[in-house]
């Protein structure tokens, strides 16, 4: 169903600095490229937040009926330690430390990346290309940039000439930086520097004898610059101009700025219509950092094996926590925040599970269609998941009122409510119903059925001390009983 024809979707474009109505280059089709991980270590939780944001966006596009080609790359070469083109390749450095081949490092951490995202219930991208698989394409782009006069070769390395490019184009337009200010705030080049200007960046780096990862090129053995791979892979699979480029805020400069320059220099056109950027994740109010110990990996959250959180949290709870903030907002992870999210997640799942059990009435007190449109309006406003979730809890409130006999709903509206909740909760937010996936769920349901039966017997015998004790003890354990006209149900807080 082509729902997008009836929905006016607006996105915040980092390039223009404002929200714009999304108008794909080709109607009904969306091409989206997102910068993937550099696979030299276990995937960072902050990176997971970025990828989760674009997984949600991908899911919503598909729900609206767009045909989406979603490309998310794997950086397995060329990412040096410093943006100034100094230092070692991150993967080669890890390979030396562990005394293994670089591609063993790549394989190990690519597997970790996929396994972690699978636990978070990510959909796989349409295409997941690697930097090493596109060396030829990168070399061809360098040739084009050299031919256009926007690059120069020095001792087997090739650098992009930012000052030359800026004579006819605008370097810095995505990040809002002026080249004159960048020039004024950079150090002078030393005699050992190969670059003409400090702002220039590497398209191809000569491989020194000790460098493990190297490929032949017209300029000698070397390896591509980090920024080049995304230009090569995005345009190869999505065309010289495509709809959406996404990534973390930290990539806006210099990585995405350099991508724009490379594409404009080689092809003469701006590559992307809408630039979308997800914001960072902090931990207990501070920037995540392995060096300071203020850091936690997804696996440590799932297992509870850490010194930061009080307990283990399920992947769907962490995903729900992240969806409660807008993707462009800074989000702070803490034990209190996850505890609150766990309670909210359980309320949401209990409400969804309870829809099937609610009784049918002759009329509906809850305007399902108006509520459904509010959910779409939230998502159409730059994927506003916090507002969407607030709307979902509005439905939960009505579901509970219907269960208690204080409101009614027709069969038709009940079916629409159930379908809409499933669409937004499972298909778009990507939340799994954990109560249906836990191994101990059947045991818990059986125990609760027994306790509810014993409580009902006690109430029937006017043994209110026993019935109250069952209710109060369960409440102390975080289990709330709810008495309605259709019987007693429970929820886990």
Peptide bond into 254 cis (omega under 30): yes
What integer is the mean pLDDT of 339-353?
A: 97
Check residue 293 and give its pLDDT: 80
pLDDT at 417 over 60: yes
Task: Among 278, 307, 330, identify where a domain stops.
Answer: 278
The answer, yes or no, to whether residue 83 has pLDDT greater than 90, is no
Q: How many structural domains does the chain have? A: 3
3-state DSSP call for residue 18?
Answer: strand
User: Is residue 342 over pLDDT 60?
Assistant: yes
Question: Which pLDDT value is given to residue 190?
Answer: 64
CA distance 199 to 195: 8
Domain boundary among 278, 297, 330: 278
**pLDDT-derived band at 462, boundaries 50, 70, 90:** confident
Residue whose structure tokens are 């902090």: 282
Tell me the pLDDT of the chain averaged across its residues: 93
Residues 194 and 207 in one domain: yes
Pair 124, 226 in one domain: yes
Only one residue has tokens 């003890």, namely 473
Q: Within this chain, do residues 129 and 216 fall inside the same structural domain, yes or no? A: yes
pLDDT over 50 at 443, yes or no: yes
Reduce the DSSP state of residue 213 to 3 states and report it.
coil
Mean pLDDT of 326-336: 98
For position 25, which CATH number holds? Answer: 3.40.50.620
Residue 439, pLDDT above cutoff 80? no
pLDDT-based confidence at residue 438 (cuts at 50, 70, 90): very low
**Angle made by CA atoms 324, 436, 3, in degrees to the nearest 5:** 55
Give the confidence band of 477 by pLDDT, cuts at 50, 70, 90: confident
For the chain, the C-alpha Rg in angstroms (whole number) is 27
- The whole-number pLDDT of residue 291 equals 74
Q: What is the CATH number of the domain that holds 353?
A: 1.10.730.10
229 and 378 part of one domain: no
Read out DSSP for 113-180? HHHHHHHTTPPPPSB--BSGGGHHHHHHHHHHHHHTTSEEEETTEEEE-HHHHHTTS-TTTTTT--HH
For residue 235, how far is the Cα from the chain centroid? 22
Q: What average pLDDT does range 159-186 have in this prediction?
A: 94
Higher pLDDT pick, 53 / 459: 53
The dihedral formed by the CA atoms of 297, 300, 306 and 312, expressed in degrees to the nearest 10: 130
Once rounded to an integer, what is the mean pLDDT over residues 212-225? 96
Q: Write down the pLDDT at residue 482.
A: 78
The last residue of one of the domains, among 225, 248, 278, is 278
pLDDT score for 436: 46
Percentage of the residues of the chain whose pLDDT score is greater than 90? 79
Query: Would you place residue 478 in the very low, low, confident or very high pLDDT band (cuts 50, 70, 90)?
Result: confident
90-94, 193-197, 426-430, 448-452: segment of lowest average pLDDT: 448-452
What pLDDT band is residue 188 in, cutting at 50, 70 and 90?
confident
The reply to whether 258 and 376 lie within a common domain is no
Write out the residue range of the structural domain in which residue 32 sits.
3-278
pLDDT band for position 82 (cuts 50, 70, 90): confident
Whether the per-residue pLDDT at 484 is higher than 80: the answer is no
**Are residues 29 and 92 both part of a single domain?**
yes
Q: What is the pLDDT, as a whole number, of residue 437?
A: 43
pLDDT at 485: 64
- Per-residue pLDDT band for 472 (boundaries 50, 70, 90) equals confident
> 179 and 104, same structural domain?
yes
Check whether residue 23 and residue 41 sit in a common domain.
yes
Mean pLDDT of 39-51: 95
Indicate if the pLDDT at residue 208 is higher than 60. yes
Residues 203 and 341 in one domain: no
Counting residues of the chain whose pLDDT is more than 70, the rounded percentage is 96
Predicted pLDDT at 24: 98
- Are both 135 and 219 inside the same structural domain? yes
| pTM, rounded to two decimals | 0.88
Q: Are residues 165 and 191 in the same domain?
A: yes
Do 73 and 204 lie in one domain? The reply is yes
Q: Lowest mean pLDDT: which of 47-56, 170-179, 363-372, 449-458?
A: 449-458
Give pLDDT, residue 78: 84
């Amino acid at each position: 169903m082509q729902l997008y024809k009836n929905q006016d979707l607006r996105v915040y474009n980092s390039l223009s600095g404002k929200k714009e109505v999304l108008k794909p280059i080709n109607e009904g089709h969306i091409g989206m490229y997102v910068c993937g991980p550099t696979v030299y270590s276990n995937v960072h939780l902050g990176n997971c937040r970025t990828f989760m944001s674009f997984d949600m966006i991908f899911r919503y596009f598909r729900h609206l009926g767009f045909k989406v080609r979603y490309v998310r790359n794997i950086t397995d070469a060329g990412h040096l330690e410093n943006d100034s083109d100094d230092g070692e390749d991150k993967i080669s450095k890890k390979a030396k430390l562990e005394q293994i081949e670089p591609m063993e490092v790549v394989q190990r951490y690519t597997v970790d990346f996929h396994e972690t995202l699978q636990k978070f219930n990510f959909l796989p991208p349409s295409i997941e290309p690697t930097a090493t698989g596109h060396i030829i394409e990168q070399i061809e782009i360098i040739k084009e940039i050299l031919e256009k006069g926007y690059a120069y070769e020095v001792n087997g390395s090739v650098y992009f000439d930012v000052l030359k490019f800026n004579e006819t184009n605008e370097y810095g337009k995505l990040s809002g930086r002026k080249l004159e200010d960048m020039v004024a705030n950079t150090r002078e080049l030393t005699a050992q520097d190969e670059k003409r200007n400090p702002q220039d960046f590497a398209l191809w780096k000569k491989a020194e004898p000790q460098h493990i990862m190297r490929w032949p090129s017209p300029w000698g053995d070397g390896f591509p610059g980090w920024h080049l791979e995304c230009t090569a892979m995005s345009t190869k699979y999505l065309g010289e101009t495509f709809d959406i480029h996404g990534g973390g805020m930290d990539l806006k400069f210099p990585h995405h700025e350099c991508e724009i320059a490379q594409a404009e220099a080689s092809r003469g056109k701006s590559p992307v219509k809408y630039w979308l950027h997800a914001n960072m994740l902090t931990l207990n109010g501070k920037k995540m950092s392995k060096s300071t110990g203020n850091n936690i990996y997804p696996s440590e959250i799932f297992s509870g094996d850490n010194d930061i959180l009080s307990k283990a949290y399920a992947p769907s709870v962490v995903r729900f926590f992240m969806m409660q903030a807008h993707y462009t907002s800074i989000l702070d992870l803490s034990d209190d925040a996850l505890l609150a999210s766990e309670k909210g997640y359980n309320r949401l799942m209990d409400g969804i599970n309870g829809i099937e059990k609610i009784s049918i009435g002759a009329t509906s007190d809850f305007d399902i269609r108006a509520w459904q449109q509010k959910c779409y309006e939230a998502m159409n406003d730059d994927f506003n998941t916090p507002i969407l979730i607030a709307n979902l809890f509005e439905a939960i409130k009505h579901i509970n009122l219907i269960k208690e006999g204080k409101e009614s709903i027709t069969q038709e509206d009940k079916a629409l409510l159930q379908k809409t909740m499933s669409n937004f909760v499972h298909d778009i937010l990507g939340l799994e119903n954990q109560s249906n996936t836990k191994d101990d769920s059947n045991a818990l349901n059986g125990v609760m059925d027994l306790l509810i039966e014993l409580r009902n017997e006690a109430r029937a015998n006017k043994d209110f001390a026993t019935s109250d004790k069952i209710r109060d003890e369960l409440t102390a354990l975080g289990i709330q009983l709810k008495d309605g006209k259709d019987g007693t149900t429970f929820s886990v807080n």
